[in-house]
Amino acid sequence: MGISFRFAVADDLPAIVSIYNQAIRAGGKTADLNELTVSDRFAWFAEHNEAEYPIYVIEHSGQVIGWGSISPYRKGRAALRKTAEISYYLDFAHHRKGLGRQLIKFMLEDCKRLGIQNIFAVLLDINHGSEQLLINTGFTKWGHLPQVANIHGRMCGQLIYGINLP
């Protein structure tokens, strides 16, 4: 199938934004309601780096088809420095092929190098596919914030799924 994983570079940002915008348009996959531009994501991209909080991409035949990021949780609070948030998105044409599971496993494996011991994902409670993906990769439910998000007139909550890494 020709799938590879690597760290994202600045030239990947248009593909990353395009994939994320698919999730926004679909509704219920992210709490963002309006599509983003590449310039909207410059600061976010700059906050990540390979040494501490990477952004990864999945490539197929030289084309970026998905991405994931590891982001700090409550940056600057020393007691939480080994805890991070995981995010992941796949081009809709590549859903249900096991790539999300592969990406998450790749990212979790890299957490050893990063020194991250606890990682969690925050997702909308109407995103059942992502919830099942997390369960299938070893995450457990850590929390639920009921009725905190208004997705185009539909109230929903946020789930927190996490995993403690060895």
What's residue 36's pLDDT? 96
Q: What DSSP state is assigned to residue 56?
A: E
User: Any idea how long the chain is?
Assistant: 166
Number of structural domains in the chain = 1
Q: Give the domain extent around 99.
A: 3-117
List, as one string, the DSSP characters of 15-30.
HHHHHHHHHHHHSSS-
Domain membership of residue 19 (yes or no) is yes
Domain membership of residue 143 (yes or no) is no
Domain membership of residue 141 (yes or no) is no
What's residue 1's pLDDT? 53
Taking residue 34's Cβ as centre, other Cβ atoms within 10 Å add up to 7
Domain membership of residue 151 (yes or no) is no
pLDDT digits (tens, 9 = 90+) for 63-88: 999 999 999 999 889 999 999 999 99
Domain membership of residue 57 (yes or no) is yes
Residues in the chain, pLDDT under 50: none
Domain membership of residue 40 (yes or no) is yes
Question: Which CATH number goes with the domain that contains 92?
Answer: 3.40.630.30
In this structure, are strands 118-124 and 83-90 parallel, antiparallel, or unpaired? parallel
